[in-house]
Amino acid sequence: MKTKIFCDIAELDLIKRFNKKKIVKGFTTNPSLIRKAGAKDYKSYSKNILKICKNKPVSLEVFADEYFEMKKQAVEINKWAKNVYVKVPVINSKGKFMGRVIKELNNQNIKLNITAIYSAKQTERILKMINKKTKVIISIFAGRAADTGKDPVPEIKKSIVLAKKFKNVEILWASVREPYNYLQAKQLGCHIITIPPATIEKIENFGKTFEQLTRETVKSFLIDSKKSNFKIKY
């Protein structure tokens, strides 16, 4: 199974550029990325993203924290385009499991990207809430887990095994920290990995020999030293 690469980004110019890349099979966003991109209105900005990405899945996240408002936002976002996956957090800020929202939206045939997952136990809870028809992505924040000294690989492995009973469920490696994470995700059998633009460009350079890398590194040192006009008097 091939691991699909999604691009984790919200800047419109970058989305236009990366949407043209064959390696990129979809896009993920979140309210933080959209805010950083300078958006003033969430709906109109998201629709601009969807105008660019018409044939690839795009994940757009709710930002409400309570059940009723979260569900209303999800239903509304789902109306914006057929290729939308509505991102819903596994819990709210108070730590309450959003199983009711997940179940009800899933039963309405709304494609979901369940986000902020860290453990296989959370994956298991989600799988108990969904049917085996409507598409669901489960996003596991591997990088953020690793940042705290925890190995995310065992949790992802267990989650992949749990999801095998669901043909409609895909496990996504989120919060990438380096290009090598893509190879790790492939080895584990992740369905998707979402990656920032700069890291995708590094992945496109995979396949270089150690000799090529050594030469490129030395060249970069030489270029920088010439730009700085460094001199040593003898």
Q: What is the set of active-site residues?
A: 87
Q: Tell me the C-alpha distance between 51 and 181, whole Å.
A: 30
Q: How far apart are CA 233 and CA 217, in angstroms?
A: 25
In the three-class reduction of DSSP (H, G, I as helix; E, B as strand; rest coil), residue 225 is classed as helix
**8 token code pair:** 């984790």
Count of residues in the chain: 234
Give 84's strand partners.
58
Q: What is the distance between the alpha carbons of residues 198 and 186, in angstroms, rounded to a whole number?
A: 19
Distances (CA, A) of 71 to 46, 74, 104, 122, 130: 18, 5, 8, 20, 15
The radius of gyration computed from the CA coordinates of the chain, to the nearest angstrom, equals 20
Do 190 and 157 form a contact (C-beta atoms < 8 A)?
Answer: no
Q: Under a CB-based contact definition with an 8 Å cutoff, are residues 51 and 16 in contact?
A: no
Q: How many CA atoms lie within 13 A of 145 on its CB side?
A: 18
